[in-house]
Structure 1
Amino acid sequence: MRSRLLVFLLATLFLLPFGLLGLLAVGEGWRFPDALPPAYSLAALRGLLSADNDLLAGLGRSLLLAGSVAVVATAGGFGVARAVARTGGGQRWLLLSYLPYALPPVLLAVLVQPFIIRMHLSGSVGGVLLGLLLVALPFATLLLGSFWTRQATEYEQLARTLGCTPRQALRLVLLPLAWPLLRTTLVQTFLLSWFDFGLTNLLSVGKVRTLTVQVFTYVGEANAPLAAVASLLLLLPPALLLLANKSALLRKP
């Protein structure tokens, strides 16, 4: 009985923000101290069906940026972690991966913005992608550094001894062994880029309107229905990733 009550309370706490956002998306003229909106309208939701809808365009840009950052950062982090593990003083190099997190994202964006401007990438998707990689790549390196142990090296050497080429050893031995950690890194770097606001907003100079930027814009305009719809779209991919990885998260050690 207690376990069911605990599950019910946790489910209520988890679903409550979604219910509130749903009411804000369809409510009209909802003012304090009203417990519920006095009127309802689907205008904000119907706007998603229009071909030139800004929210759908922002969703596409966010998916493109977060997906690209996740793939590039995971692949790059896998290679960088391998190179660090094979060099002397690997821990010293891994410590350097913490440097991007010693500064707030906005301050980091201010420091790299002159270089982005010199590369003629200011206000472009490429400039934002490069800025996000400066944060996501070290993060992926730190996560994947735990894979390159002595055991992984021995597995690779054994595969090479049995006649595998370096590419075959990577594809048939190392990647299957590292897949659980690679999957975790893909999800984490995706979420890191998906929810970023400060770095994206500064490097894009208002031209790359991702979903996160749009949420803050609508909140600043006091446009509650569009802010709620944008927030629901912002929460959709993480919720789908959570469901897709439910079996891995609930797996008993």
Structure 2
Amino acid sequence: MLRKSLTAILASAILLPFLFFAVLSVGQAWFYPSVMPQRFTLANWQQLWSGQSELQFGLVRSLILGLGVAILSTLLGFIISKEIALAKYKNRWLLLAYWPFVLSPVVLAILVQRFFLLTGMSGELIGVLLGQLILAFPFTVIFFQSFWSPEVLQLGQQSQTLGASAVYTLRYVLLPLAKPLLLICFFQTFLISWFEYGLTQFIGLGKVKTLTILVFKYVNEANIFHAALASLLIMLPPALLLWANKKFVFRGI
């Protein structure tokens, strides 16, 4: 009985924010001291799917950045982390990988802003993507260090000693072993990009309006209904990724 009660309380705590933002996203004309909005309409959701919706463009930009950062950082991190694991001064390289996390994203953006200005990538989607990689790529390098144990490295060397090519060893030996970690790393880096605000705002110069940027914009404008819809859109992918992690990844592990 106690376990069921605790489960119900936990489930309610998790679902309450989704329910709250869902109600606000279809609300209209909410005035104090009313507990609920005076009117309900699907106009905000219909506007989301219209051809000129700011929220629609923000959702697309966030998805492009999230998927791009996740794919690039996961692949590069997997490859580079192996080279670091084999390097003579492994600890020095790992220490360097921690450097971006010593500073706040805004301070980090200020330090690299000159590069983006000189290359003309400030205020561009590609510039924001590269800026987010500054955070995501070192994370993947650190994340995959636990995979490259002496046993895994020896297994790869034995495969090549027996005549397998480097590509064959990577495809049929290393990738199957690393598949669960690759998926987890992909999800994590996607979320790093999905929720990132400081670098995106500074390098994007306010022109690259992702969902996180739009949430703050709508809050500053006191547009609570659009802010609720944008917040709900931000919350849905992490919930889906959490479900996918539990159903496919951790079950495989």
Question: Normalized against structure 1, the TM-score is what?
Answer: 0.96
CA distance in 1, matches of 2:110, 2:20: 35
1:86-105 per-position Cα deviation (integer Å, ceiling 9, x unaligned): 11121221111111011110
Partners of 1:37 and 1:54 in 2: CA distance: 23
How far apart are residue 122 of structure 1 and its match? 1.0
Structure 1 Cα separation of the partners of residues 186 and 5 of structure 2: 34
- Specify the alignment match of 2:104 in structure 1: 104
- Aligned pairs (5 A) from 1:139-154: 139-154=139-154
In structure 2, give the amino acid aligned to 1:129.
L
What's the C-alpha RMSD, in Å, of the aligned pairs? 1.5
Equivalent in the alignment of 2:239: 239
1:240 CA displacement: 1.3
| Partner in structure 1 of residue 165 of structure 2 | 165
Aligned to 1:85: 85
Q: Tell me which amino acid in the other structure corresponds to 1:123.
A: G
Task: Give the deviation of 1:250 after TM superposition.
Answer: 5.9
The question of whether the paired residues in 1 share the 8 Å contact of 2:180 and 2:249 is answered with no
Structure 1 moving runs of 4+ over 4 Å: 248-253
What's the counterpart of residue 72 of structure 2? Answer: 72
Residue 251 of structure 1: how far off its partner (Å): 4.5
CA offset at residue 32 of structure 1?
Answer: 3.8
Offset at residue 37 of structure 1 (A)? 2.0
1:63 maps to which residue? 63
Deviation track 1:64-93 (CA, whole Å, cap 9, x = no partner) reads: 111011111011111111111111121221
Q: How far apart are 1:31 and its partner, in Å? A: 3.3
- In the other structure, the counterpart of 1:36 is 36
3-state SS in 2 of match to 1:82? helix
Q: What residue number does 2:219 align with?
A: 219
Q: State the 1:161 CA deviation.
A: 2.3
* Number of residue-to-residue matches in the alignment: 253
Distance 1:226 1:40 in 2: 13
Q: Distance in 1 between matches of 2:181 and 2:50?
A: 40
Distance 2:249 2:179 in 1: 15
Identity %: 46
Deviations along 1:105-134, one digit per CA (max 9) or x if unpaired, are: 011011111111111111101110111011
- For 1:179 and 1:7, the matched residues in 2 are separated by 31
Shift in Å, 1:236: 1.6
Q: Which runs of 5+ in 2 are unaligned?
A: none
Whether the aligned pair in 1 keeps the contact of 2:183 and 2:249 (CA below 8 Å) is no
Tell me by how many angstroms 1:29 deviates.
2.6
In the TM superposition, residue 39 of structure 1 has moved relative to its aligned partner by 2.1
Structure 1 residue 195: deviation in Å? 0.3
Once residues 246 and 129 of structure 2 are traced to their aligned partners in structure 1, the CA distance between those partners, rounded to angstroms, is 29
Partner residue, 1:177: 177
Q: Secondary structure at the match of 2:100?
A: helix
3-state SS, counterpart of residue 37 of structure 1: coil
26-35 or 131-140, which deviates more: 26-35
Using a 3 Å threshold, how does the CA distance of structure 1 residues 244 and 74 change in structure 2: closer, same or farther? same
Q: Deviations over 1:196-249 (max 9, x none)?
A: 011101101111111111111111111011111111111121111111111357
Q: Secondary structure at the match of 1:245?
A: helix
Secondary structure of 1:192's partner? helix
What is the 5 A alignment of 1:6-45? 6-45=6-45
Secondary structure, counterpart of 2:146 in structure 1: coil
Q: Which runs of 5+ in 1 are unaligned?
A: none
